[in-house]
Amino acid sequence: MKKLINDPKNVVSESVQGFGLAHPDLVSIHPDPLFISRKQTKSNKVGLVSGGGSGHEPLHAGYVGFGMLDAAVPGAVFTSPTPDAIIPATLAADSGAGVLQIVKNYTGDVLNFEMAAEMATAEGVQVSTVLVNDDVAVEDSLYTAGRRGVGGTVLVEKIAGAAAERGDDLEQVTAIAQRVNDNVRTMGVALSACTVPHAGVPSFELADDEIEIGIGIHGEPGRHRIPMEAADGIADRLLEPVLTDLNLSAGESVLLFVNGMGGTPLSELYIVYRRASQLLAERGFTIERSLVGNYITALEMQGCSISVLRLDQELTELWDAPVHTAALRWGV
Amino acid sequence: MKKLINDPKNVVSESVQGFGLAHPDLVSIHPDPLFISRKQTKSNKVGLVSGGGSGHEPLHAGYVGFGMLDAAVPGAVFTSPTPDAIIPATLAADSGAGVLQIVKNYTGDVLNFEMAAEMATAEGVQVSTVLVNDDVAVEDSLYTAGRRGVGGTVLVEKIAGAAAERGDDLEQVTAIAQRVNDNVRTMGVALSACTVPHAGVPSFELADDEIEIGIGIHGEPGRHRIPMEAADGIADRLLEPVLTDLNLSAGESVLLFVNGMGGTPLSELYIVYRRASQLLAERGFTIERSLVGNYITALEMQGCSISVLRLDQELTELWDAPVHTAALRWGV
């Protein structure tokens, strides 16, 4: 596996340095302990902090900026960041109105953010936490008790960020983030494995004619392996459990999010979107908003995930609200 | 090679259908002959048309919309579209002020757009053409006489699109597009090959420890193959010929564009950006603007390209002007 890297042990720090050099108007880089903070801040706005293992870019640093996150904490590749980095990020995100931690439900992340929340609280910062657990594929997994946090995380960060930007207080922003999480479901597929730089070998093996349905974003196992099949069939396999679990009623409006795992061409994501969109229409659901692209990845893994978010008028307005980050931008 | 597709012969049409379903506010899809047109048009604006083989997404359909293209014509994968599709696209793009064709310099594209321009002219549309040929890697190549059009195409489309949107006439928009092309240079690298869906086998072979410097966006040969090396060295190998050819003077301002070929994680593109940014600073150039991501790709190829555009005040203002397309959006 060839990678555009220098020393494997500097992958995260050099990538974050490059990110800071490319987006000096948006972010400040704090090298040790490593976190990214938003440059343009305002006082008395609820701060949003997220983080987790690296390798899922643009998540989370790519979502730091106006209308989304105030700080992001990247761990080593596929490894939770530690409290010594989460604490200063949380303090940096606080402008007097408290901080919401958005945490993907992985055991390491949950423990480390919890510890950091306690320490930040001890320093006088009000902290609340929302765990994202939108993955319908598996109930418990290699790295989690309960469901994993995957594609829905991007939607939680965007919509909660908009709530904070309009002036909601910590309780309100937390409730909005929780409402997004409660109304989004996701399932993914891997066509190929990915290789963690310092490991140097693929995280798992998939035969040439095999795919893994229900994969996580770290290459951890999903529901089952099946022979390779056509995109439409794969889209159905991902979307059905999502819809069943979300328990949508005909006539409801949704946001449809087809996410690339990093190594799949955009053209293929649109082929998946096409089928998912047809299936939603057949069931009588209205796609009010869409998102298609590589927004939460697993290094160079080939594959995708499909997320469906049940929309109401307020969530739609918050989704539409202006955002200016490296990876998601509109209205400004 | 596993792909998220159905029948290989429907890859382009299904992907474009999905694109239309995902972005109904931005584009209309014309299925036969296949082209994409902008939904919100205004009269007496110079129209911009581009197109070329598919497989480079989001180019070109992803750039149809406010402040950029009025129509895009996708050919089969890595195959020029034919005049029967380029002609109606050109007519659709005309709102009374003429049409600029932005054509990447590949023999098939040049011939087919030329023929379409003649036919559209015969129908009373004023047509001008700018050939993009920013690739410094090779002088002639498998598919070209002269240099190939690669990453610079995105910058030409954005900046010329802004000129058209502000009300420049056809001569002025053409001159702006030509100025961007004259001031941008690009070079790319491949770490892996890509597989055209209907071919089913990789376009070329690269050994596990080998990379191709100066690769085109169709997997056509570049300058030379070398053993795999660190990202910083690769960045230097790409950037040096770009800077030499561009003949920048210290103190000049540039836009630095690190583009992914489709299969390389964003985190690695930022590692390349980091080194390129350092090298530009060492030489006394100012990076005024940046772009990092998968904007002109070669299916799932792993690798990247580096483009440098010499900026002046007008080009910077046009770059900053609002744009609303599926793949590039700001200010609106």
Q: What is the DSSP string of B4-59?
A: S-SSGGGHHHHHHHHHHHH-TTTEEEEETTEEEEESS--TTPPEEEEEEEESSTTT
Nearest by CB to B22, which of A12, A292, A299?
Answer: A292
Give CA A90 to chain center in angstroms: 18
Chain CA centroid to CA A270, Å: 20
Average pLDDT of B178-206? 94
Please identify every residue of A annotated as catalytic.
Answer: 56, 218
User: Residue A164 is encoded by which pair of tokens?
Assistant: 């904070």
Amino acid occupying residue A82: T
Place of tokens 């909660």: A160
How confident is the model over A170-213, as pLDDT tens digits? 999 999 999 999 999 999 999 999 999 999 899 888 999 999 99
Query: What is d(CA A47, CA A98) in angstroms, rounded to the nearest whole number?
Result: 6
Q: Does B29 touch chain A (CB under 8 A)?
A: no
Please indicate if any CB of chain B lies within 8 Å of the CB of A300.
yes
pLDDT in tens, A58-94: 999 999 999 999 999 999 999 999 999 999 999 999 9
Q: What is the mean pLDDT of residues B178-201?
A: 95
pLDDT in tens, A145-167: 899 999 999 999 999 999 999 99
Comparing C-alpha atoms, which of B159, B319, B189 is closest to residue B258? B189
CB nearest to B15's CB, from A6, A267, A330: A267
Overall average pLDDT of the B47-68 stretch: 98
Q: Which residues from B are below 8 Å from A26, CB to CB?
A: none
Question: Exposed, middle or buried: residue B253 (CB in 10 Å: 0-12, 13-18, 19+)?
Answer: middle
Q: Please give the full DSSP string across A202-213, using - where no structure is assigned.
A: BSS---TTEEEE
d(CA A313, CA A265): 33
- Smallest Cα–Cα separation from B321: which of B167, B177, B165? B165
Q: What percent of chain B has pLDDT over 70?
A: 100
Residue A272 — pLDDT band, cuts 50, 70, 90?
very high
Q: Helix or strand or coil: residue A172? A: helix
Residue A278 has pLDDT above 90, yes or no: yes
- Supply the Cα-derived Rg of chain B in whole angstroms: 19
Structural tokens at position A5: 């890297």
pLDDT at A221 over 90: no
Mean pLDDT of B267-289: 98
pTM value is: 0.98
Cα separation, A147 vs A154, whole angstroms: 16
pLDDT at A141 over 90: no
Query: In this model, does residue B307 exceed pLDDT 90?
Result: yes
Q: Count other Cβ atoms within 10 Å, centred on residue A250.
A: 8
**Residue matched to tokens 């931005």:** B26
Strand order across the beta sheet in which B210-213 lies: B224-227, B210-213, B184-190, B303-311, B253-260, B286-293
Please judge whether B57 and A270 are an interchain contact, meaning their C-beta atoms are less than 8 angstroms apart.
yes
Mean pLDDT for all residues in chain A: 96
CB A266 to CB B62 under 8 A?
Answer: yes
3 state SS of A324:
strand
Neighbours of B21 (CB within 10 A): 22
Letter for the amino acid at B19?
Answer: F
Contact between chains at B231 and A277 (C-beta distance less than 8 A) = no
Token pair of A261 as six digits:
């795992």
Q: How far is CA A263 from CA A187, A269, B112, B188, B219, in A?
A: 17, 11, 32, 18, 17
CA distance A45 to A74: 23
Residue A256, classified by CB atoms within 10 Å of its CB into exposed (0-12), middle (13-18) or buried (19+), is buried
User: Chain A: nearest CA to B297, how far in angstroms?
Assistant: 8
Return the pLDDT at A61.
98
A272, A234 contact by CB (below 8 A): yes
Phi, psi (deg, nearest 5) at residue B72: -135, 145
Picking from A198, A271, A279 by the largest number of B CB atoms within 10 A of its own CB, the best residue to mutate is: A271
Average pLDDT over residues A31-40: 96
| Listed range (A89-93, A248-252, B20-24) with the worst mean pLDDT | A248-252
Contact A276, A258 (CB under 8 A): yes
The one-letter code for the residue type at B150 is: V
Q: What are phi and psi of A303, to 5 degrees?
A: 150, -170
Residues of B with Cβ-Cβ distance to A299 under 8 angstroms: 265, 267
Residue A142: pLDDT above 80? no
Q: Sheet with A303-310: list strands edge to edge.
A: A224-227, A210-213, A184-190, A303-310, A253-260, A286-293
Would you place residue B140 in the very low, low, confident or very high pLDDT band (cuts 50, 70, 90)?
confident
* Distance between CA atoms of residues B193 and B204, nearest Å: 6
Find out whether B78 and B53 touch, Cβ atoms under 8 Å. Answer: yes
Q: Give the pLDDT confidence score for residue B66 in this predicted structure.
A: 98
A-chain residue closest to B326, CA distance: A292
Helices A107-122, A83-93: crossing angle, 10 deg rounding: 50
Report pLDDT for B133. 97
Place of tokens 């109606």: B88
Residues of B in contact with A219 (CB under 8 A): none
Judged against a pLDDT cut of 80, whether residue B17 lies above it is answered with: yes
Domains of chain A with bracketed CATH: 10-182 (3.40.50.10440), 184-330 (3.30.1180.20)
* Mean pLDDT for all residues in chain B: 96
Alpha carbons within 13 angstroms on the beta-carbon side of residue B153 total 36
Phi, psi of B243 (to 5 degrees): -70, -40
Phi, psi of B23 (to 5 degrees): -130, 55
pLDDT in tens, B235-244: 999 999 999 9
Between CA A322 and CA A46 the distance in angstroms is 17
Q: What mean pLDDT comes out for the span B185-205?
A: 93
| pLDDT band, very low/low/confident/very high, at B143 (cuts 50, 70, 90) | confident
Collapsing DSSP states into helix, strand and coil, what is residue A231?
helix
* Residue A285's pLDDT band (cuts 50, 70, 90): very high
CA distance B235 to A49: 33
Determine which helix (DSSP H) or strand (DSSP E) holds B140, and give its type and residue range: none
- A102-108: average pLDDT: 96
Over residues A304-326, mean pLDDT: 98
Phi-psi region of A65 (alpha: psi -120 to 50; beta: other; left: phi over 0): left
pLDDT band for position B221 (50/70/90)?
A: confident
**Per-residue confidence (pLDDT) for residue A109, from 0 to 100:** 97
| pLDDT (0 to 100) of residue B42 | 86
| DSSP assignments along B178-228, one per residue | HHHHHTEEEEEEESS--B-TTT-SBSS---TTEEEET--TTS---SEEEE-
What is the predicted ipTM? Answer: 0.97
